[in-house]
Every structure is written in structure tokens, then in C-alpha cells.
A and B are shown apart, each in its own frame.
Chain A
Amino acid sequence: MASVQVSEAEKVYIMHGVRDDLRVDGRGCEDYRHMVIETDVVSNTDGSAKVSLGHSDILVGVKAEIGKPRALVPDEGYLEFFVDCSANATPEFEGRGGEELGIDLSNTLYKVFNNKHSIDLRSLCICPGEHCWVLYVDVLLLQCDGNLFDAISIAIKAALFNTRIPKVHISEDAEGGKEIELSDDPYDCVRLNVENVPCIVTLCKVGQRHVVDATLQEKACSVASLLLAVTHKGMVTCVRKMGGGSLDPESISEMTETGKRVGKALHAPLMDLLKKEEGLGKNRQKVGFLR
């Protein structure tokens, strides 16, 4: 993660602040920064979303392609994740510098989405054993200001909500082989049900307490963090501990409780916002990067 240097005295100040529930920017330990979300930003993808959390900027593009299903699960499609930590965020990511972080992020995303309930993978199947939809989810990191996982998961949820997969018609041709026809009508498409897509909450342990949505300075003061993927019902789908320090069991259970509460509260405003944006329809003024 792109890191900042913090002096010892600054660390002490931050830790005492967290202990008193007043962080450097005035937030409480469970408050998120201001978020700006927009979908349908890149036009040649099947779904896209742009999320700004503080100064972190994430762009997600989803492309749907037809491929062969995996041998073990012939009646399901699948998702492929790729995270590109671009040099835009910081010069440290130039060349191969951002690869390590990118691989780390994509592996975590695979784990989070690796369960039957997040996305109905059966709906991505076209012909069992022969053809299925493969959703390539590409995440582009444009600016880095801490708390990447949360922003990425919100962006992925928004992009999947925005994804429109063309309907397929399967017809038998003369030799008995199957032919796939994609519908040409741009409005004739399948939408995904993203109700159960989890949102990731990262909790960083600073001193004796933990904070949600840590900035880079707070991250530099914390030794370990816990990553939780929480669905809208409050169910935890993935838990992962990150960082070099160690956590004692009481902290982990406390952090899990906080994570469940905070994560559950993220979904409702997000879905409301996405539905509101869709409701604007053609009147919506596309902003993207132009304003």
C-alpha cells in the first residue's frame, strides 16, 4: 500500500485521539468519509462504476464474454478479477511496482466472492458444460488515500448492478451443433441480482481500539487490521487478517461485531443511491471526470 511517513509524536497524537473517539478529521471510530458514486462511466464495457472515497478514486469496468465453464461446476458461470494499481496513484507503482499490491487485492476479491450466495452463478450459464458467461471485473486504482478494499467492493457492487448482459438465443443448426446468437437490441438484456453481493469493511487496530475507513496516516499507526466481507443481512462471508502485527481473540470478536454492524449499514444507502441514479434515466447528466 502506498504509505506515508509519520513521526512518533504524530502517532501518539493519533492513537490518543482514537482512544477518545475523536479522529484527526473529526470523525468517530465508525464513520466513513464522504463518498461519491457514479455508474456507466466507460461506454464500451457492459457495466462500470466510479467511486471516490475521500481522495481514493477507483474505476471498475465489467466485461461479459462467453467462455467454457469450469470442469467441476459445469452449470455455473464465473467471475475473474484483475486489479491494476496504476502509476497515476503514486510514482511507486510505476512499472512492476504496483503488481504486488494488485495481486494481493485480486486474490482477496476472489476469496470474498468465492461462495454460492454472493452472485447467482447459475444465471450466468448458457449451455451446461459448454458455454457460460464469464464476467471479467477490472479494477483500476487511480488515486490512493487509504481504505482501498472498502471502496473497491462498493465500486464492484455498483458496477455489477449496472452490468447489462445481452440475452442469448440458442439454436440448433444442421449438424446438431449449438449456435449462439446474441440479441442485437441494446435494451434486451439480463441484469444481475446484486442484493447478496457483500461489501468489505476494513477495521484497523490503532492502540486499543479499532477504526473503520482508516486514512493513510492512521494505517501507519496500526499494526494489524481485519477485513470482513458483510452482506446486507449482516452475514459474514469472508474474514481475513492483514498486516504484520498480531491480534488477540477479544479484539477479533469486538472488531467482528463492529464490522457486521457497519457493513450491514452500508448496503441500504448504496442500493437506494443506485436505484435513484437509474431512476433519473436519460435526464442524468454524465459527469465522469469532466466536472
Chain B
Amino acid sequence: MAADMRLPTAGEQISSSSLSLLDGKHLVVPGDVITSDTGFMRGHGTYMDEEKLTASVAGEVERVNKLICVRPLKTRFNGEVGDVVVGRITEVQQKRWKVETNSRLDSVLLLSSVNLPGGELRRRSAEDELSMRDYLQEGDLISAEVQSVFADGALSLHTRSLKYGKLGQGVLVLVSPSLVKRQKTHFHNLPCGASIILGSNGYIWLYPTPGQQDEEAGGYYTSMEPVPLSDREVISRLRNCLLVLAAHKILLYDTSVLYCFESSLSHQIKDILKPEVMDEIVMKTRQRLMEQEG
């Protein structure tokens, strides 16, 4: 199989027709004065400089009634209560785990915030503390929900529901948190044959749809059975599609991922990441998304 080598290509400049889509968007850079009116409240991405509301990041101004904030194009994950995240355990400490979630401080998963295996409800004992590593080790992936935010910005997670917990076999894809659309549910069973968890922190987990019998096992049983080849192909294709969407900065949610998957079916899985194939797939996906909106 010949290696695919090529010369770099200069990127395209944005055309004037697409610039018209920016009408109505107020874009600011750090140091820009947004308004001198003192009636507004100051939100994220701004600071007060001698009575003038000034932007501190580069992005779009969002105005909700009297609150003005600036949303930057790319940023680390700023968690809020109720967000679903996918994280990796980095440390096992006394009575808690440290979880890495692509935010500015590592998140915390307290021992009291997890379900014990078997589903018992009791006070955590010293034995539970000593056997923390049996539940979750360094390097394990979990899906969890943000329970609260500490004063310094660190998140406290919980997995007190059967749909959260340790994740089994599958593929993790990393994208920017600003590309994941806020929706009612972040767990989807896609019709193409795989399931997806769209973590709000930009960590996206793809896994084979579990069969009926696995539902009752609770959060800790991970099957080490080989995943069938057809499921693997679907998951690999989905992974490449996610990377394509992220590279072209398209918002990620179940519909856009599905459309991209369907547009890519005419190509081989490993060809999806080639630049010309990427452009083609993105164009088709955008078209379908616009038709669906309009």
C-alpha cells in the first residue's frame, strides 16, 4: 500500500459572499470597548476598565437582556452544574479520584458520589476507601455529570445513575469543547449501529451498542469480548467523521454526526481524512443540514 505523500496547499481565503453571513455578529478582540453604558451587567470574557465594559478575549458578544458576555472561539471546558462529561482518572487519592476533563483544573469525583457495585446504599466505610482501586484505576474512562462547582472553579462530578459510570471498550475522540452543542441528552444510540456519548468537555466516546443483557450489570462490568468487525467499521468511520467535522468547525450533535456518516459511505474509511475527501463530505453534510433547517 503506497504511502500517501503530498505537497502542502495554500488554504482558501473566505469569499465575500460568505462574509455577509457575519452581518449581525458582533466580533471583538481583547481591549475593544463594548459599551460605555453603565446599565449592563458584566459577564464572562469582559472586564471593567474605568467605567467602560471592555472585552478580554477574542470572540462574539452575547447579550441576554442586561448581561453582556463574550464567548471566545476556543477555550478550555468551563463546566456548569448538570453538564455530562467524559473524563479520565489521573489520580487515586484518599476518598476521591482526580479526573482530567480538559478544564482549567482537574475535576474531583468523591467516593460518596459513586454507586457501589451491586447497587447497595450505605455509608462508605474504611474498607471502601482501601478498595477504591478495584472500582476505578488510573487511566480508566468514566462518564459523569457535574454535581457542583468549587469556589476556585474545579468541578465535582457524580455517577449516581445507572447511565453513568466506567466506560468499557470503545474509542475516545478529542475535540474542542466549544464545538459540542448543548442538548437535552448527550447519550445517543445512532441508527448506523454504534452509540455515542457527546461529553460537553469535548471528549466524545464511541462504543458498540450494548446488547439487552448488559443493561442489568450496573456500572462496573466491562466486557472484554472482541467487538464484531461490522461494529468496528461503523465506529472507525464515525471517529473519522467526527475529526472531519471538528476540523471544519461544524457543531457536533447527533444529527450532524449522522449526516456526515451517511455522506461518507461512498468512500473507504481510511480515505476520509484526506483533504479533498474531507471537503467533499463537509459540503454534503452542510447542504443536508441547511435543507433540514430551512
Query: Per a CB cutoff under 8 Å, which of B5, B11, B232 touches A269?
Result: B5
Q: Are A5 and B138 neighbours in the complex by a CB distance under 8 Å? A: yes
Q: Are B232 and A22 neighbours in the complex by a CB distance under 8 Å? A: yes
Q: Write out the residue numbers on chain B whose beta carbons fall within 8 Å of the beta carbon of A269.
A: 2-3, 5
Chain B proximity mask over A14-34: 1 for CB below 8 Å, otherwise 0: 001101101111111011111
Query: Per a CB cutoff under 8 Å, which of B139, B227, B229 touches A7?
Result: B139
Query: Per a CB cutoff under 8 Å, which of A12, A24, A35 touches B6?
Result: A35
Q: Write out the residue numbers on chain B whose beta carbons fall within 8 Å of the beta carbon of A24.
A: 171, 236, 239
Q: Write out the residue numbers on chain B whose beta carbons fall within 8 Å of the beta carbon of A28.
A: 1, 270
Tell me whether A25 and B141 are in contact in the complex, defined as CB-CB below 8 angstroms, given that A37-B5, A265-B3, A270-B5 are known contacts: no
User: Does B21 make an interface contact (CB < 8 A)?
Assistant: no
User: Does A247 make an interface contact (CB < 8 A)?
Assistant: no
Q: Are A34 and B273 neighbours in the complex by a CB distance under 8 Å? A: yes
Query: Per a CB cutoff under 8 Å, which of A9, A33, A37 touches B169?
Result: A9
Size bracket, chain B contacts: 35 or more
User: Does B66 make an interface contact (CB < 8 A)?
Assistant: no
A9 to B236, CA, bound (A): 16
Query: Per a CB cutoff under 8 Å, which of B167, B226, B229, B236 touches A25?
Result: B236
A44 to B227, CA, bound (A): 53
Q: Are A9 and B273 neighbours in the complex by a CB distance under 8 Å? A: no
Tell me whether A287 and B4 are in contact in the complex, defined as CB-CB below 8 angstroms, given that A9-B170, A22-B233 are known contacts: no
Q: Are A25 and B7 neighbours in the complex by a CB distance under 8 Å? A: no
Query: Per a CB cutoff under 8 Å, which of B2, B3, B227, B270 touches A26?
Result: B270
User: Does B272 make an interface contact (CB < 8 A)?
Assistant: yes
A91 to chain B, nearest CB (A): 14
A35 to B7, CA, bound (A): 8
A124 to B236, CA, bound (A): 49
Q: Are A30 and B1 neighbours in the complex by a CB distance under 8 Å? A: yes
B164 to chain A, nearest CB (A): 16
User: Does A242 make an interface contact (CB < 8 A)?
Assistant: no
A265 to B172, CA, bound (A): 32
Chain A proximity mask over B1-20: 1 for CB below 8 Å, otherwise 0: 11111111111000000000
Q: Are A9 and B167 neighbours in the complex by a CB distance under 8 Å? A: yes
User: Does B88 make an interface contact (CB < 8 A)?
Assistant: yes
A276 to B5, CA, bound (A): 12
Query: Per a CB cutoff under 8 Å, which of A8, A17, A33, A38 touches B7?
Result: A38
A60 to chain B, nearest CB (A): 15
Q: Write out the residue numbers on chain A whose beta carbons fall within 8 Å of the beta carbon of B270.
A: 25-28, 31
Query: Per a CB cutoff under 8 Å, which of B171, B226, B274 touches A34?
Result: B274
B238-292 at interface with A (beta carbon < 8 Å): 239-240, 268-270, 272-275
B152 to chain A, nearest CB (A): 21
Q: Are A26 and B237 neighbours in the complex by a CB distance under 8 Å? A: yes
User: Does B153 make an interface contact (CB < 8 A)?
Assistant: no
A16 to B141, CA, bound (A): 19
The residue of chain A having its C-beta at the shortest distance from the C-beta of B3 within the complex is: A32
Q: Write out the residue numbers on chain B whose beta carbons fall within 8 Å of the beta carbon of A276.
A: 7
Q: Are A265 and B2 neighbours in the complex by a CB distance under 8 Å? A: yes
A128 to B14, CA, bound (A): 58
User: Does B218 make an interface contact (CB < 8 A)?
Assistant: no
Q: Are A287 and B88 neighbours in the complex by a CB distance under 8 Å? A: no
A152 to chain B, nearest CB (A): 15
User: Does A273 make an interface contact (CB < 8 A)?
Assistant: yes
User: Does B129 make an interface contact (CB < 8 A)?
Assistant: no
Chain B proximity mask over A201-228: 1 for CB below 8 Å, otherwise 0: 0000000000000000000000000000
User: Does A291 make an interface contact (CB < 8 A)?
Assistant: yes
Chain A proximity mask over B147-163: 1 for CB below 8 Å, otherwise 0: 00000000000000000
Q: Are B167 and A7 neighbours in the complex by a CB distance under 8 Å? A: yes
A24 to B236, CA, bound (A): 5
Most buried by A among B137, B170, B274: B170
Residues of B within 8 A of A (CB): 1-11, 88, 90, 137-141, 167-172, 222, 224, 226-227, 229, 232-233, 236-237, 239-240, 268-270, 272-275
21 A-B pairs with C-beta separation under 8 A: A7-B139, A7-B140, A7-B167, A8-B140, A8-B222, A9-B222, A12-B224, A13-B170, A20-B226, A24-B171, A25-B236, A26-B237, A27-B270, A31-B1, A34-B4, A36-B6, A37-B7, A269-B2, A269-B5, A287-B10, A291-B8
